[in-house]
Chain A
Amino acid sequence: MTLDQQLKHTGTLVNYYFVCKRKLWLFAHQINFETESDTVALGRLLSEISYDRQKKEIKIDEMISIDWIDFRNKVIHEVKKSDKLEEAHLWQVKYYLYFLESKGVQGFRAEINYPKFHKRELIELIDSDREYLKEVIKEIEEILPRDEIPEKVRIPACRSCSYFEFCWV
């Protein structure tokens, strides 16, 4: 089984891989509580209402969903709520670039936008990233088909995670 054949939204999976392996597994098994979470709803709303002159949510092969693409400058954009440049956000975006390359789309860069803070972060994909992402995808593919749910680990992100009650009840 490869990600390509099995799953949509692999960008989210790459993101969750860096946040929490358990969340990754649960999400991939369609166990999620995000419709119940105010934080998630807020993030979605922010992404919808900011930069509204851009064409939004470009889905490619039903695999990734890019917030918008600036074709003239060859930049893909991702909108995030918190301005902490989290590892998870960074690799999610790098994965988009990597995925596009695999489809033969070369020379793109990425920008993470933080509308609440009027800030942005430019991101490029380098050779060592490509190697690393290959590893990451291999590991994700190894985790998902497991029958057991990965053990819960208390991390700072638990506090605002939509899975908090599920994990810790």
Chain B
Amino acid sequence: MEKPFYIFSNGRIRRKDNTVFFEYGDSNDESQEEKESKPANRRAVPVETIDSIYLFGEVDLNNKVINFLGQNHIPIHFFNYYGYYTGTFYPREYAVSGHILVKQVSHYVDPGLRFAIAQEIIQSSNHNILKNLKYYERRYGDLSGFISHIENKNREMGSSRSIEELMGFEGQIHKRYFEAWNKILKSETFLFDKRTRMPPDNPINALISFGNSMVYATALSEIYKTQLNPAISYLHQPSTKRFSLSLDLAEIFKPLLVDRLIFSMINHNQIRENHFESNLEFCYLNEKGRRTFTEQFDEKLKTTVKHPSLKRNVSYRQLIKLECYKLVKHILGEEEFKGFRMWW
């Protein structure tokens, strides 16, 4: 079974024969002397078991190991000191189909075809947002106003004709959704005023930013396994800076993978003030915070649910890949794309 590896410690990744070695130094807070006095911990990992690698620590890699990981189709996601997504080593495409690429592009170029996919993405995302609110409405109450407001906006959105209009509705819905968070979060310390990015200015924004970049990287790993080209997207404008198809897919899964996680981690006191590094104008998760969040995020991805049409258990991570398959079938003209909507 392949799985992602998250590396927080400082150290090195090596190739020895046909195996990958993670050599851990120690965590960031130790002094240089402490590091040198201890022997490195070594861990051998069979390359077949690695799905992808997430690098948070200060890690050395040489071209030998990068070539080896590339041959084995393993993407490496890099994050900077603040846990900000830097980029991905996206190995040479191995699942390429000229036929799919042509169809994928033609669904982008035709405004009608593009809009249909974009709208379905937003509607699936809204459905999942409402699922979250309804879940907490049953538990804590006091959310029905937000729910009906968003339901109305969702209906109004049905008459949009352009992606700009869709994005407008999406903005309004998210604004309302975020306002509801203060009713969901049972915490004295963490309050959510408004969404800020670059840089996030409070702990909740820091969690959202970090969580979203994790979903983005995970979606990218899943797209890599399919014939879809990650740069051609429908809701988001294909851009040179990002693999924007990943952003499209992330939109659908953020409510399930990130938002729900934030609610439960804060309400269960798993994330605390000391997990953040903050200053007047910014706020970041520190190493401990990132570890804790990532652990729970990984658990989330491994959660399984019985799929109604496959009649098999699939993990949340697999759901992302299934989303890619549905897109492929859509652009091939076989079955209309129906985005993932939480059914439980």
Interface residues of chain A, those whose CB is within 8 Å of chain B, are 29-33, 35-36, 147-149, 164-166, 168-169
A166 to B334, CA, bound (A): 12
The answer on a CB contact under 8 Å between B326 and A29 is no
For B227, the closest partner residue in chain A by CB is A31
B227 touches A30 (CB 8 A): yes
Tell whether, in the assembled complex, residue B325 and residue A30 are in contact, meaning their CB atoms are under 8 Å apart. Answer: no
Q: Kindly identify, within residues 302 to 320 of chain B, every residue whose CB is under 8 Å from any CB belonging to chain A.
A: 307, 309-310, 314, 318
Do A29 and B94 have beta carbons less than 8 Å apart?
A: no
Given contacts A35-B95, A148-B333, A149-B334, contact A166 B328 (CB under 8 A): yes
Question: Are B99 and A30 in contact, with the CB atoms below 8 A?
Answer: yes
A41 closest partner in B (C-beta): B48
If the complex has contacts A30-B227, A31-B227, A36-B225, are A166 and B325 also in contact, measured as CB distance less than 8 A? yes
Chain A residues closer than 8 Å to B309, beta-carbon distance: 168-169
A74 to B218, CA, bound (A): 51
Complex-state Cα separation, A165 to B296, whole angstroms: 27
Is the pair A165, B325 in contact by a Cβ cutoff of 8 Å? yes
Please name all residues of chain A whose beta carbon is closer than 8 Å to the beta carbon of B307 when the two chains form the complex: 169
Does B322 reach chain A (CB closer than 8 Å)? Answer: yes
Residue of A nearest to B333 (CB): A148
Find the A residue at minimum CB distance from B323: A169
Q: Is B172 an interface residue (CB 8 A)?
A: no
Number of interface residues of B (CB under 8 A): 24
How far is it, in angstroms, between the C-alpha of A165 and the C-alpha of B321 when the chains are bound?
9
Query: Does B113 belong to the interface (CB within 8 Å)?
Result: no
Q: A165–B309 Cα gap in the complex (Å)?
A: 10
Identify 9 new A-B residue pairs, CB closer than 8 A, beyond the known A31-B100, A32-B95, A169-B326: A29-B100, A31-B328, A33-B225, A35-B94, A35-B225, A36-B225, A149-B329, A166-B328, A169-B309
What's the least CB distance linking B90 to chain A, in Å? 16
**CA A33 to CA B228, docked complex, whole Å:** 12
Kindly identify, within residues 59 to 105 of chain B, every residue whose CB is under 8 Å from any CB belonging to chain A.
73, 94-100
Residue from B307, B318, B332 whose CB has the most chain A CB atoms within 10 Å: B332
In the complex, are the beta carbons of B95 and A165 less than 8 A apart? Answer: no
Distance of A146 Cα from B325 Cα, bound (Å): 20
Whether the Cβ atoms of A29 and B325 lie closer than 8 Å is: no
Give the distance in Å from the alpha carbon of A33 to the alpha carbon of B310 in the complex: 16
Q: Could you tell me if A30 and B225 are in contact, using CB atoms closer than 8 angstroms?
A: no
> Which positions 284-305 of chain B face chain A at CB distance < 8 Å?
none
Asked if residues A29 and B99 are in contact (CB atoms below 8 Å), the reply is yes
Q: How far is the CB of B97 from chain A (nearest CB, A)?
A: 4
Cross-chain pairs A/B with CB under 8 angstroms, 12 sampled = A30-B96, A30-B97, A30-B100, A30-B227, A31-B99, A31-B100, A33-B225, A35-B94, A165-B321, A166-B328, A168-B310, A169-B325
Interface centre among B94, B100, B325 (most CB of A within 10 A): B325
Q: Is there contact, CB below 8 Å, between B98 and A30?
A: yes
Bound complex: CA A32 to CA B321 (Å)? 14
B282 CB, min distance to chain A CBs, angstroms: 40
Q: How far is the CA of A164 from the CA of B95 in the complex (A)?
A: 17
How far in angstroms is the closest Cβ of chain A from B173? 27
Residues of chain B with a CB closer than 8 A to A31's CB: 97, 99-100, 227, 328
Contact B322–A169 (Cβ < 8 Å):
yes
Cβ A149 vs Cβ B322 within 8 A: no
B322 contacts across to A, CB distance below 8 A: 165, 169
Assuming the contacts A30-B227, A31-B328, asked whether A165 and B310 have C-beta atoms less than 8 A apart, the reply is yes
